[in-house]
Amino acid sequence: MHFSRRDFLCSTLVACGSSVPLFLARSAQVIADETKRPNHGRMLVMVELDGGNDGLNTVVPYQDDAYRRHRPQLAIAAREVHRLDDHVGLHPALVNLLRVHENRQLAIIQSVGYPNPNRSHFESMAIWHTARLGSSRDTAGWLARSLDERFGDPGGDAPALYLGENLVPQALYGSRRHVPALSDLEQFRRRLGIADPALAGPQRAALDQMGRRERGGAGSLLQFVERTGAITYATSARLETVARANDSGARYPESYGLARRLKLIGQLIKAGLGTSIYYTRISGFDTHANQRDTHAIRLREVGDSLKAFLDDINQIDEAARILVLVFSEFGRRLGENASGGTDHGTAAPVFLLGPGVNPGVHGPYPNLDDLADGDPRYAVDFRRIYATILDQWLGCPSQAILGERFAHLPVLRASG
């Protein structure tokens, strides 16, 4: 089921009735007129593992004696891992991610990090979000900068959406384009106050009349507020429309919050929302204590949710246009601590998923006999991944976004 931009903005804002402020009603017609071309480009789905995921127990170097020596309690036995090759395998809880690997829709990039690593959650995540190193870094996010580069002046559908309970992540902060934050459909049912359908005709006429009224000058603060407000309400109304529509019947593990958010992303994609970037996160990866059980629970949620999402989108024509990036702010230390956990580390693997990836294990295996202050050394700068995605997937010049040129990685199919 696909919607035109005009139908989306006019009909769904009509459904909001008297709960829509007057300036939003005036903005609806203007935005509908500005950009009628739907987005037929590629989409990026970002999944953040918040807290510092233990990469060594995610992509397990099961053949490495140093791994077992430094983790007498936490090391995953070779017989338990899902082997990817003769060196590494996936955590036992990632059985569904193994299925993605077997379907040739998983690329794993090993030993990812950056120079002079920072073990602070706040600082390291800010580095990943801004793609800037050092204390003088720009606070605007790398995705926010890409939105301005690709889309120009504000207007039209929100080019990016954040799905989660917390504030919009810094990666999407600082753009001239408004990025709505959505938590769940019930929130917007309460917020929108759907009106009596019998009044839709008069309401539509009233909106059309208000849409023709004069507005503030181009570039004014009032115009910006009008646009961003209209985009938020319109996106919320689209969600309500999607919730009432029949979905594809894809099976998601509904007990998982990540699965519910990915299901919603899948619904929005299938509904034809003109959005290029979707962002969500899952927390609980700061495993300083009792890591074995906690980490397994979190990884199972990640693997099961991602498999369900890929099964869902693989049923539709848009599947080839969707790429998923899974990352964390840092890995964990090689050695386990006295509390049955691991402390903040540095390098860790990054996952790319979808029909457009060049599947397999990329990058050098972590050398656990050559440590830097107790941590495996990074071998792949995370900005190389960003540059590859910007240039080869989103069609956005990476040098303009990242401030310098980074060599691409062979992680995307040549045709993609």
For 47-95, write each residue's pLDDT tens digit. Answer: 999 999 999 999 999 999 999 999 999 999 999 999 999 999 999 999 9
Angle at the Cα of 222 from the Cα atoms of 129 and 161, rounded to 5 degrees: 30
Residue-level pLDDT at 238? 56
Lookup result for tokens 């990666």: 171
Read off the tokens for 39: 């987005």
CB of 41 closer than 8 Å to CB of 265: no
DSSP bridge pairs for 375: 372
Give this prediction's pTM: 0.82
Task: Kindly list the distances between the CA atom of residue 16 and the CA atoms of 178, 240, 394, in Å, as whole numbers in the listed order.
Answer: 20, 10, 34
> CA 178 to CA 155: how far, in whole Å?
9
Residue-level pLDDT at 21? 42
Task: Kindly list the distances between the CA atom of residue 382 and the CA atoms of 53, 113, 328, 388, in Å, as whole numbers in the listed order.
Answer: 15, 6, 11, 10
> CA 106 to CA 349: how far, in whole Å?
12
Read off the tokens for 85: 């090759």
Residue-level pLDDT at 227? 53
For the chain, domain boundaries: 5-402
DSSP bridge pairs for 181: 162
Residue-level pLDDT at 131? 96
Nearest Cα to 349, choosing from 360, 339, 357? 360
CB of 411 closer than 8 Å to CB of 109: yes
Pairing of strands 59-60, 89-90: antiparallel
> CA 224 to CA 133: how far, in whole Å?
31
Nearest Cα to 193, choosing from 316, 17, 400, 358? 17
Residue-level pLDDT at 137? 62
Contacts of 264 (CB under 8 A, 6+ apart): 163, 182, 184, 185, 239, 242
Residue-level pLDDT at 311? 96
> CA 59 to CA 74: how far, in whole Å?
14
Residue pLDDT tens, the chain, 416 long: 444 444 444 444 444 444 444 434 444 443 444 333 333 489 999 999 999 999 999 999 999 999 999 999 999 999 999 999 999 999 999 999 999 999 999 999 999 999 999 999 999 999 999 999 976 566 899 999 999 888 655 555 578 999 998 789 999 999 888 888 887 655 544 444 444 444 444 544 444 444 444 444 445 545 544 555 555 555 555 555 555 554 556 789 989 999 999 998 998 888 777 789 999 999 999 999 999 999 999 999 999 999 999 999 999 888 999 999 999 999 999 999 999 999 999 999 999 999 999 999 999 999 999 999 989 999 999 999 999 999 999 999 999 999 999 999 999 997 54
Angle at the Cα of 160 from the Cα atoms of 159 and 162, rounded to 5 degrees: 160
CB of 352 closer than 8 Å to CB of 324: yes
Residue-level pLDDT at 350? 98
